[in-house]
């Protein structure tokens, strides 16, 4: 195969679907029909604080529990050739200096949504839920356990429910915690990750490794976000908040000041990667403005305290007094707005002007 990397999906992948792909579409159609008959539980009165708004766990059983995927096939990024195009969306994570990419087109479907893996000597789980459009990486260690996660075969608020083989507990993806069993209300540690394009990830991490499984889908590419209206970027700081992707497309950066912390949300137009950064560096809270540049890449910022220049994608200072300093990446996720608000009905929408201290 000698296809070149392009920003479009090859015709052979658009039109030639395997029997496995066909079965996915049947499953997806069934799943959609099954879930529309169920109302979202407890979407009525909101509580004064999100931690007090306990939702009753009422899952929908839609298919049998799936076997765990462990020891997944991994290749060096240079070996994947044209199995993954430049515009393919990937879930990227760096653990202890080791980078790995999980192509969303390989994760999609009920059998592939959870990958139990190890990276940089640490057990992790890469998870993707196409019904809520969220990609998250968890640390599989909790107490004395190294958990092995499986697709439970259940949905809650049209969102993936995980099952762990060690304690037989059920877990919510977007709440990031146990919802039934011995681990009920226990929180998983979420690792900083990003949903970006293979081109962008490979450029920033030339030594990356990559998951190597047959494609289940072809449609998850950068162009998927050409219609941003259904999506939000959600995160939980002192309380849940979300920014619509339509808003982010207009402003590209948003400052959010919360008491003693300040956050910055950035959108990279080329890859559509969104990052949430903590703006405190060495005890100093920084404020940022965009830098006008003839070249769109990299997208640059300048802090108004030291006039240092920063790469808006990586959160690293590249010029000025703070050169080499790194903004800490906080946890957030893209999701369909209906799914985010089902779990966080009191989530505050951040306006174009950003948000200041209460």
Task: Report whether pLDDT(37) > 70.
Answer: no
pLDDT digits (tens, 9 = 90+) for 170-212: 999 999 999 999 999 999 999 999 999 999 999 999 999 999 9
Q: Give 286-334 pLDDT, tens digit per residue.
A: 999 999 877 666 799 999 999 999 999 999 999 999 999 999 999 999 9
3-state secondary structure of 165: coil
CB atoms within 10 A of CB 120: 13
| Alpha-helix runs per DSSP H in the chain | 11-15, 19-35, 104-107, 198-204, 245-251, 337-343
Q: What is the pLDDT of residue 27?
A: 43
238: confidence class by pLDDT, cuts 50, 70, 90: confident
Note the pLDDT of residue 184.
97
Mean pLDDT throughout 33-39?
A: 37
Cα–Cα nearest to 341, from 140, 202, 98, 158? 158
234-246: average pLDDT: 94
Which domains does the chain carry? 11-211 (no CATH), 227-349 (2.102.10)
| pLDDT at residue 297, rounded to an integer | 66
pLDDT at 89: 98
Burial string for 199-230 (b: 16+ CB within 10 Å, else e) reads bbbbebbeebbbbbbebbbbebbbeebeebee
Q: Say whether pLDDT at 29 is over 50.
A: no
Question: Which one is predicted more confidently, 168 or 11?
Answer: 168
């Amino acid at each position: 195969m000698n296809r070149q990397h392009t920003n479009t999906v090859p015709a052979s992948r658009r039109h030639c679907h395997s029997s496995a792909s066909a079965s996915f579409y049947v499953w997806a159609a069934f799943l959609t029909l099954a879930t529309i008959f169920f109302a979202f539980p407890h979407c009525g009165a909101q509580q004064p604080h999100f931690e007090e708004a306990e939702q009753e766990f009422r899952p929908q059983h839609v298919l049998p529990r799936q076997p765990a995927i462990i020891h997944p096939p991994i290749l060096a990024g240079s070996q994947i050739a044209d199995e993954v195009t430049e515009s393919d969306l990937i879930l990227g994570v760096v653990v202890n200096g080791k980078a790995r990419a999980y192509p969303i087109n390989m994760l999609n479907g009920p059998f592939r949504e959870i990958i139990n893996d190890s990276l940089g000597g640490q057990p992790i789980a890469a998870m993707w839920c196409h019904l809520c459009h969220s990609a998250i990486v968890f640390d599989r260690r909790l107490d004395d356990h190294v958990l092995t996660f499986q697709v439970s075969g259940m949905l809650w608020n049209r969102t993936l429910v995980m099952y762990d083989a060690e304690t037989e507990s059920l877990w919510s993806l977007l709440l990031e915690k146990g919802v039934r069993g011995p681990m009920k209300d226990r929180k998983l540690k979420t690792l900083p990750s990003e949903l970006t394009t293979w081109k962008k990830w490979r450029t920033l991490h030339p030594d990356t490794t990559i998951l190597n499984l047959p494609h289940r889908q072809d449609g998850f590419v950068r162009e998927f976000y050409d219609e941003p209206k259904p999506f939000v970027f959600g995160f939980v700081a002192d309380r849940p908040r979300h920014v619509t992707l339509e808003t982010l497309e207009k402003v590209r950066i948003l400052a959010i000041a919360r008491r003693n912390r300040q956050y910055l949300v950035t959108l990279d137009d080329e890859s559509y990667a969104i990052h949430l950064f903590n703006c405190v560096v060495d005890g100093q809270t920084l404020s940022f403005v965009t830098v006008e540049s003839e070249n769109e890449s990299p997208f640059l910022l300048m802090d108004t305290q030291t006039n240092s220049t920063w790469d808006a994608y990586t959160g690293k200072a590249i010029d000025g007094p703070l050169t080499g300093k790194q903004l800490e990446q906080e946890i957030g996720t893209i999701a369909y707005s209906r799914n985010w608000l089902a779990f966080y009905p009191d989530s505050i929408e951040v306006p174009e002007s950003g948000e200041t201290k209460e």
